[in-house]
Amino acid sequence: MADTLIFGASGQLGQCLAHVAKERNTPGLIFPPEADANILAPDKLRALFEQHKPAYCINCAAYTAVDKAEDEVDLARKVNRDGVENLARLCGEFGTTLIQISTDFVFAGTGNTPLVETDAAEPISVYGLTKLEGEQVIGAHTSQFFILRTSWLYSEYANNFVKTMLRLGQDRDEMRVIWDQTGTPCYAIDLAGCILTIIESQSQQYGIYHYSNEGVTSWYDFATAIFELSGTPVKTVPIRTAEYPTKATRPAYSVMDKTKAKTVLGVAIPHWRTSLATCIERLG
């Protein structure tokens, strides 16, 4: 199998890709060091493409500090839009298929029915806007791309909600958690598996896909499940978003419909509680 270049290799999803590739014995994945793989450095990117002539490029690199992005608009845009365009341009030139990771934050979150890929993207934060701009610049440079929108990403790697709750739960007997934001967690190991399935099957069903775990929950119910499944004796108290103000506005409802990913890509998607139990067991 031809080489696959991974950008953002040291982040959560990058580490999950390395984990799953090892489990599945998937050949050809290249995880270049960050110093050689800065998506804002076109010359370095070109050197990597010329060296490896990759069949696939997976972009896990992103500016993801949702609240800081409200103040660091230019930096967020450089990483989430300009960096993606740098990769897309090279993918078009080298005939490489781009797999770009995007987010549920491209939606306003004002509805109450699961979001499909063709629903209007109307971001309500700088982070969501710059991620949408990243999606939009790809098509000018290549038609060989998969955009995978995901949500509430967590795993045993890097910093995320699950690990934060477990850490805070060691010192507290009560946690106040938002209950009026609804979505679906995504175990990054499962998302990595979906990405590798695309590569292994050599799918050419290009386009935008939604991928998270199955089911629907709130942050409050998610936190409650984390404490239950880990045996951590913490009482969770539901609060409204208004009681926990943040600089960036979050979508109130961002449950994504995964029918397209299941039918077109042929991936099986576990329920969020099943995957959460697996993660917590692995965290030990």
Catalytic residue list: 127
Q: Token digits for 160? A: 């995320």
d(CA 25, CA 112): 41
Going through the chain in order, the beta strands assigned E by DSSP cover 4-7, 29-30, 56-59, 97-103, 145-150, 153-154, 174-178, 182-183, 186-187, 207-210, 217-218, 235-239
Which residue is listed with tokens 């795993």? 155
Strands 145-150 and 207-210: parallel
* Closest C-alpha among 65, 66, 55, 68 to residue 27: 55
Q: Are residues 186 and 212 in contact, defined by beta-carbon separation less than 8 angstroms? A: yes
Alpha helical stretches, state H, 34-153: 42-52, 73-77, 83-94, 126-138
b/e 50-65 (16+ beta carbons within 10 angstroms → b): eebebbbbbbbbbbbe
For residue 174, give the DSSP letter: E
41 within 8 A of 189, measured Cβ to Cβ = no
